[in-house]
């Protein structure tokens, strides 16, 4: 018998775990990304680093993500992409104006929290309107995680 290779593609789900510790999320949005050349192949390989990413509005009203690193594709040629270039995010106009108005408030920022490839094969970036946590909020988050972990351990035994 000859075994066939599975036709189901590997699921891409790259998380920014540090974001939930550093920020409290107020609203989440799924945005498309304008990619060039070999960037989608690197994303499918999982060669993405989103921890340092942040989003900025341009004067024309478009939203761009900075600090997002998509590593060069290993099998790429001389026309490989630039790893740290800013990339345009694709949202509808209503979402853009809503985000722009809310992000003008003091202490709010827009950060990427997850990158994934949807069923149609398009790379998407889940972004969140976030407010930075204070030190005591971070301690509370750690306490909650520890309590949840201990409850899970107690249920196992």
**Tens of pLDDT, residue by residue, the chain (157 residues):** 444 445 555 678 888 888 888 899 999 999 999 998 888 888 988 889 999 999 999 999 999 999 999 998 888 778 788 889 999 999 999 999 999 999 888 889 999 999 999 999 899 999 999 998 888 888 888 898 899 999 999 988 7
Which SS3 state, helix, strand or coil, does residue 103 take? helix
pLDDT of the residue at 80? 84
Note the pLDDT tens digit of each residue in 45-82: 888 999 999 999 999 999 999 999 999 888 877 878 88
- Nearest CA to 110 out of 55, 62, 58 is that of 55
Specify the pTM.
Answer: 0.79
Token couple for 133: 């946590």
DSSP helix/strand/coil, 61: coil
141: helix, strand or coil: helix
CA dist list (Å): 83 to 31, 35, 75: 19, 11, 15
Give the per-residue pLDDT at 73.
87
Burial 69-85 (b: 16+ CB within 10 A, else e): ebbebeeeeeebbebee
Q: What is the pLDDT of residue 9?
A: 57
Distance CA 134, CA 4 (A): 53
Q: Which residue has the tokens 């775990």?
A: 17
């Amino acid at each position: 018998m000859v075994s066939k290779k599975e036709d189901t593609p590997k699921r891409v789900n790259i998380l920014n775990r540090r974001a939930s510790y550093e920020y409290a999320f107020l609203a989440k949005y799924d945005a498309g990304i304008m990619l060039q050349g070999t960037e989608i192949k690197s994303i499918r390989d999982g060669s993405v680093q989103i921890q340092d990413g942040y989003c900025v509005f341009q004067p024309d009203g478009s939203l761009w993500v900075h600090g997002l690193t998509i590593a060069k594709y290993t099998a790429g040629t001389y026309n490989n992409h630039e790893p740290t270039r800013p990339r345009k995010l694709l949202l509808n106009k209503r979402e853009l104006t809503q985000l722009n108005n809310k992000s003008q408030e003091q202490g709010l920022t827009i950060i990427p929290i997850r990158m994934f490839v949807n069923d149609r094969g398009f790379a998407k970036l889940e972004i969140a309107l976030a407010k930075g946590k204070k030190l005591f909020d971070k301690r509370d988050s750690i306490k909650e995680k520890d309590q949840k972990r201990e409850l899970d351990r107690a249920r196992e035994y």
